[in-house]
Amino acid sequence: MPGWLTLPTLCRFLLWAFTIFHKAQGDPASHPGPHYLLPPIHEVIHSHRGATATLPCVLGTTPPSYKVRWSKVEPGELRETLILITNGLHARGYGPLGGRARMRRGHRLDASLVIAGVRLEDEGRYRCELINGIEDESVALTLSLEGVVFPYQPSRGRYQFNYYEAKQACEEQDGRLATYSQLYQAWTEGLDWCNAGWLLEGSVRYPVLTARAPCGGRGRPGIRSYGPRDRMRDRYDAFCFTSALAGQVFFVPGRLTLSEAHAACRRRGAVVAKVGHLYAAWKFSGLDQCDGGWLADGSVRFPITTPRPRCGGLPDPGVRSFGFPRPQQAAYGTYCYAEN
């Protein structure tokens, strides 16, 4: 054996030959995942409305020339919304989210995205993509907001909204259409509702904890689905989602008409609360008030965190509703909302 062919050298040669052979054979192990971008340790980032959220994206090494592109994957739509592009030195934002987004730049390999003043519509899936003209690669993360889902129907009764009207109705009540994952989370936390409602993805569903004949049959509990629906023609209720408040909700007692309720809130530097405000105050601030009060949409509701006799008649916490009384009926107080 020649002097240069030592045993360690022979082993390295055989390992090299084995690797080349498997690459030629198309061995899946020879095609690893991203090698410039490090896989995220946590793929779901939790935040709440008004907070500053950081979506981590870190390079293991940098190619000679590259760009990083951040985008948001829109639910139910086959498109992505561009947020920001950087070449490592300069960054440019795009669209409404781009004005609140910036690169963290904690170190030279840091391509993380920072979103200030998180809004309800910011929840969803994001993509950090490295573009170097040869082997583009990306990692995906999900921004998840703490929140509460509430069913909503107008004063005209149930099943009045097409998809676009449902979307607008939620926005008018300080919310947005809930996603399927948000509805599922609400179901695991106790939401049981027998009226079908639109979701953000365009599907129509309703959550059932206690299976019963008038509510999808006596099968197993779960999320019932109506399948694909026509967004313009078909009409249902809405499932809305809202998150923590920047202000506070408080109750003004009295026997007020709806117009008197608006005046009472204005005198206190506030406005009549929206339905989403009341749900958020109940969920995140523990608001508990056994008195019906006017809300901005003309409904009368009250929040209960500690169920008790003669206070809604139901064993579980929640927001109770008296429906939509006549606006001239002077029988209720009002819930006001004031920004901090």
Q: Residues 285-339: pLDDT tens digits? A: 999 999 999 999 999 999 999 999 888 888 889 999 999 999 999 999 999 999 9
pLDDT of residue 22: 40
- Tell me the whole-structure pTM to 2 decimals: 0.83
Compute how many other C-beta atoms are within 10 angstroms of the C-beta atom of residue 337.
24
In the 8-state DSSP scheme, what is residue 242? Answer: E
Q: Residues 76-112: pLDDT tens digits? A: 666 899 999 998 888 999 998 999 999 999 998 999 9
Q: What is the CATH number of the domain that holds 66?
A: 2.60.40.10
What the block records as the tokens of 237 is: 């209720």
Q: Indicate whether 26 belongs to any domain.
A: no
* Whether the predicted pLDDT of 3 surpasses 70: no
Q: Residues 65-78: pLDDT tens digits? A: 889 999 999 876 66
d(CA 68, CA 92): 11
Q: What share of the chain is helix, strand, coil (3-state, %, to 5)?
A: 20, 35, 45
Nearest of 249, 150, 219 to residue 191 by alpha carbon: 150
Domain region containing 194: 148-243
- Compute the mean pLDDT over every residue in the chain, rounded to the nearest whole number: 89
Q: Indicate whether 74 belongs to any domain.
A: yes
d(CA 252, CA 336): 7
| Bridge partners of residue 249, in order along the sequence | 337
Under 8 Å CB-to-CB from 191, ≥6 apart: which residues?
149, 183, 207, 209
Residues 129, 84, single domain; the answer is yes
Residues 267, 234, single domain; the answer is no
Q: Indicate whether 203 belongs to any domain.
A: yes
Q: Residues 142-201: pLDDT tens digits? A: 999 999 999 999 999 999 999 999 999 999 999 999 999 999 999 999 999 999 999 999
Q: What is the CATH number of the domain that holds 161?
A: 3.10.100.10
pLDDT of residue 31: 41
- For residue 183, report the phi and psi dihedrals to the nearest 5 degrees: -65, -40
pLDDT band at residue 16, thresholds of 50, 70 and 90? very low
Using the 3D structure, point to which of 219, 243, 267 is the last residue of a domain: 243
Strand 237-243 and strand 197-198: the pairing is parallel
Question: What average pLDDT score do residues 127-140 get?
Answer: 88
pLDDT of residue 77: 61
Q: Indicate whether 31 belongs to any domain.
A: no
Q: Residues 197-253: pLDDT tens digits? A: 999 999 999 999 988 888 877 778 999 999 889 999 999 999 999 999 989 999 999
Question: What average pLDDT score do residues 130-142 get?
Answer: 88
Q: Indicate whether 86 belongs to any domain.
A: yes
Under 8 Å CB-to-CB from 223, ≥6 apart: which residues?
180, 183, 184, 187, 205, 206, 207, 208
* Whether the predicted pLDDT of 44 surpasses 80: yes
Q: Indicate whether 207 belongs to any domain.
A: yes
Residues 133, 199, single domain; the answer is no
Q: Indicate whether 217 belongs to any domain.
A: yes
Residues 152, 124, single domain; the answer is no
Residues 226, 252, single domain; the answer is no
Residues 266, 205, single domain; the answer is no
Instruction: Please say whether the dihedral angle defined by the alpha carbons of residues 39, 54, 61 and 11, taken in this order, is positive or negative.
Output: negative
Residues 284, 310, single domain; the answer is yes
Residue with the larger pLDDT of the pair 246 and 52: 52
Helix H or strand E encompassing 198 = strand 197-198
Number of structural domains (the chain) is 3
The CA-atom distances, in angstroms, between 23 and each of 15, 26, 28, 35, 136 are: 12, 5, 8, 17, 20
Strand 147-152 and strand 237-243: the pairing is antiparallel
Residues 109, 135, single domain; the answer is yes
Residues 257, 329, single domain; the answer is yes
Q: Indicate whether 25 belongs to any domain.
A: no
What the block records as the tokens of 34 is: 């991203």
Question: What average pLDDT score do residues 32-49 get?
Answer: 85
Residues 50, 141, single domain; the answer is yes
Residues 223, 256, single domain; the answer is no
CB 66 within 8 A of CB 116: no
Residues 335, 274, single domain; the answer is yes
